[in-house]
Amino acid sequence: MATSSTTNPVPVLQPKDLASDQEVRWCPGCGDYSILAQMKKALAGLNIPREKLVFISGIGCSSRFPYYMNTYGFHTIHGRAPTIATGLKICRPDLSVWVITGDGDGLSIGGNHLIHAIRRNVDLKIILFNNEIYGLTKGQYSPTSRIGTRTKSSPLGSIDNPLRPLSIAIGAEATFVARTIDVDVNHLTETLRRAAAHKGTAFVEVYQNCKIFNDGVFEYATDKSIKADNTLYLEHGKPLIFGKDRTKGIRLNGLEPEVVTLGQGVTVDDLLIHDEKAEEPSLAYLLSRMVYPRFPECVGVFRCVERPTYDELLNKQTEEVIRVKGRGKLEDLFASDDTWVVE
């Protein structure tokens, strides 16, 4: 798209500097608007120059995202954004590469690329807009829709047991895993910043409301009156406490979490302490299994550990041989097999 140019970019960006000239085309009331706004806010703070930012998406309402950012962008094909982002990142480590995907794009058709990007720990920020529905194709159930979801393609209720995005990511060796909510603007901004700061694949699930085809599916986590009892905000090193008046907590019973009320005999010390840096991902996995209504659903950073990134290792390998053996010359390459001379 045609975009206004700033040949020497302003050092500190304002959110509005990140808006493209394209009219935003989501339905009125769509949760995507908020994510777009917070993304601009989050990035504005990081003073990465605009031209170093790249948004790569698949197909879906969510995947229209790149058109609305005045950065480089690539609206690719359904489910394949992680592969294209990987190709870009390995040859352009200087760029900050973001993947925007949906629950259908990322977990239905694109599930394989997602887990492979994650297990390789390519330095990508993958933001999955989870609205538990296929929005763009007008409302079929998705791999995250709860059993019994009635949609055009499941008039009698869906029978497919849903995937949990974070469990899959953790099962795929993720180094950074977080969850946030479209309407919790500050937490969303902060989480995006945390993702940007992580070196390696940062996988973020955003609960996003689809106003048209799945309105209110996350009400339990967003409705002022009840959300405090249904969500648990994770903080590294802190005990797992939640509830309107923060009187409830999570305690381990063997390997099963249980909800306890502070007070009668139960103290904060009995509670599970969050550790996003735990060497083994078992805690993060366990937290990813906590699902409303049986449990409050965890929000925040589940896991954040360091591991060499794929792009880094790949380029190191090349640099290393070149350092040791010297940069190859075509002449040597051609002569790399037995040769003979004809006079």
Continuous H helices in 25-74: 32-45
Task: State yes or no: cis peptide before 49, omega within 30 of 0.
Answer: no
Residues 138-167 interacting with ligand TPP (rule: CB under 6 A): 142
The pair of structure tokens assigned to 270 is: 């009995």
Which of 109, 212, 252, 273 forms a contact with ligand SF4 (CB under 6 A)?
A: 212
Q: Please report, in angstroms and rounded to a whole number, the separation of the first and last CA atoms in the chain.
A: 59
Q: What three-state secondary structure class fits 123?
A: coil
Buried b (16+ CB within 10 A) or exposed e, 258-289: ebbebeeeeeeeebbebebeeeebebbbbbbe
CA dist 60 and 48 (Å) reads 27
Q: Which of 63, 90, 97, 103 binds Mg ion (CB under 5 A)?
A: 103
Distance of alpha carbon 261 from its chain centroid, rounded? 32
Rule CB under 8 A: say whether 12 interacts with a second copy: no
250 binds a second copy (CB under 8 A): no
Q: Which of 256, 269, 280, 331 binds other proteins (CB under 8 A)?
A: 331
Choose, by CB under 6 A, the member of 52, 75, 78, 289 that binds ligand TPP.
78
Contacting residue, 61, 188, 240, 250, with other proteins by CB under 8 A: 61
Q: Which does 213 bind (CB under 5 to 8 A by kind): Mg ion, ligand SF4, other proteins, none?
A: ligand SF4
Residue 205 binding Mg ion, by CB under 5 A = no
Q: Is 314 near other proteins (CB under 8 A)?
A: yes
**Under 8 Å between Cβ of 134 and 142:** yes
167 near other proteins, judged by CB under 8 A: no
Beta bridge partners of 277: none
**Among the listed residues 30, 39, 124, 283, the single contact to ligand SF4 using CB under 6 A:** 30
Chain contacts with ligand SF4 (rule: CB under 6 A): 26-27, 30, 32, 61, 131, 135, 210-213
